[in-house]
Structure 1
Amino acid sequence: MTTRLPLILLLNALGLAIFFSWYLPVNHGFWFPLDSGLFHFFNQELVKSRAFLWLVAITNNRAFDAISLLAMGCLMLSFWLKEDKSGRRHILIMGLVMLLTAVIINQLAQHLMPVKRASPTLYFTDIYRVSELLHIPTKDASKDSFPGDHGMMLLIFSAFMLRYFGKKAFGIALIIVVVFIFPRVMIGAHWLTDIVVGSLTAVLIGLPWCLMTPLTDRLIAIFDRYLPGNGNKIKTNS
């Protein structure tokens, strides 16, 4: 992989444009009516439909996060099973580099973005909370919801799938993103802009410098060299 500087800078500029379109206007400009309208739509549905209430409660239980990890693991496993010993090692090390990249970008975003805000369920009054309607363990609030860390991790996973496994894997990964991110918005634990502004901005600014440069390939090669069990030379993508 050679450094694709023009595209990196374009994606960085897009990320900054998205962020400042939300951050600079008074009351977040056109974003706030979208955030508010979406939250209140789903919040009213909680008391209109018992089935919807249970769906939202279950999909925001901590156990559902494990299912998201399982879905990502199954996608990677589908490629791992097709590989020889060297290829399987490559996929495992790529997963390790992906996790390391996600942790670093998430930490930088949490500390460098000049935003701290509560979730809609804590911001608005006279609203319904799933935890009060059903009294079961579920995440329906956050004191600091921006940027959405869960969404950030899933978006980074999708980008790694595109970089190392191609467009089909990327399409499947995007379905996983929607399925496992949107319940946070429906329950009110996140604003829509926590993801489409916060998470996406962090990914557009940080991730191109990892995936559109030789950085991740070099990290994979370094881990392959020093981690136990290196019997073959690892493959590299270009």
Structure 2
Amino acid sequence: MKTRLPLILLLNAAGLALFLSWYLPVNHGFWFPLDSAIFHFFNQGLVENRAYLWLVALTNNRAFDACSLVAMGCLMLSFWLPADRDGRRRVLMIGLTMLLIAVVLNQLAQLLMPVQRTSPSLFFKNIYRVSDLLNFPTKDASKDSFPGDHGMMLLIFAAIMLRYFGKRSFAIALVIVVVFAFPRVMIGAHWFTDIAVGSLSAVLIGLPWFLLTPLSDKIILLFDRYLPGNNKI
């Protein structure tokens, strides 16, 4: 992969414009009414439908987070199983590279984005919280919800799939993003813009410098060279 600087700068500009469209306007401009409408729509449903209440509670339990890892793992496993020994090792190295990139970008986003924001379940008054309606362990609030780290990890996974495994795997990964990131919005632990602005803008600004340059390939090669099991050393 050669460095695709024009595309990198275009994606960076899009990410910066997206973030500033939310950050600069008073009360976040048009984003806040959208955030509020989405939160209240899902929040009202908590007392209107018992099955929906349990669905939201279950999909925000810590065990459901593990299901997201299983879903991502199964998609990568579909490439690992038919591969030969070298191919299987490469899939593993790509997975490790993805985790490293996710940790680095998440830490940078938390450090560099000048935002301290509580979740809508803590911001609004006279609303419903799942933890008050059910005696069930679930995450329905956050004291620092921006950017959505869970959503960021899922978006990075989707981009990695596009870069190394093609468009079909990318489409499947996008489904995984929606299924496992949106429950946080439904329960009120995240604003919609924590993901649509915070996670996405961080990925648009940071990730191209890994995937549209030789950097991610070099990281894969380093893992391959120094981790046990490489008989070529």
AA at the equivalent of 2:147:
P
State the aligned residue count. Answer: 233
Partner of 1:231: 231
Shift of 1:232: 4.8
Partner of 1:76: 76
Q: Is the counterpart of residue 44 in structure 1 residue 44 in structure 2?
A: yes
- Tell me if the contact between 1:97 and 1:220 (Cα under 8 Å) persists in the aligned partners: yes
State the 4+ residue runs in structure 1 displaced beyond 3 angstroms.
none
Deviations 1:118-161 (A, max 9, x none): 00000000000001000210000000000000000000000000
Q: Is the counterpart of residue 103 in structure 1 residue 123 in structure 2?
A: no
Shift of 1:222: 1.4
Partner of 1:88: 88
- What's the TM-score once normalised by structure 2's chain length? 0.99
* Structure 2 unmatched ranges of 5 or more: none
Shift of 1:231: 2.3
Partner of 1:162: 162
CA distance in structure 1 between the partners assigned to 2:90 and 2:17 by the alignment: 36
CA distance in structure 2 between the partners assigned to 1:28 and 1:221 by the alignment: 43
- What's the TM-score once normalised by structure 1's chain length? 0.97
Partner of 1:135: 135
AA at the equivalent of 2:203:
V
Shift of 1:50: 0.4
- Tell me if the contact between 1:86 and 1:232 (Cα under 8 Å) persists in the aligned partners: no
Q: CA RMSD in A?
A: 0.8
Deviations 1:150-197 (A, max 9, x none): 000000000000000000000000000000001000000000000000
* Structure 1 unmatched ranges of 5 or more: 234-238
AA at the equivalent of 1:88:
R
> Structure 1 vs Structure 2: percent identity of aligned residues?
76
- Tell me if the contact between 1:2 and 1:212 (Cα under 8 Å) persists in the aligned partners: yes
Shift of 1:92: 0.3
Matches within 5 A, 1:142-153: 142-153=142-153
Partner of 1:198: 198
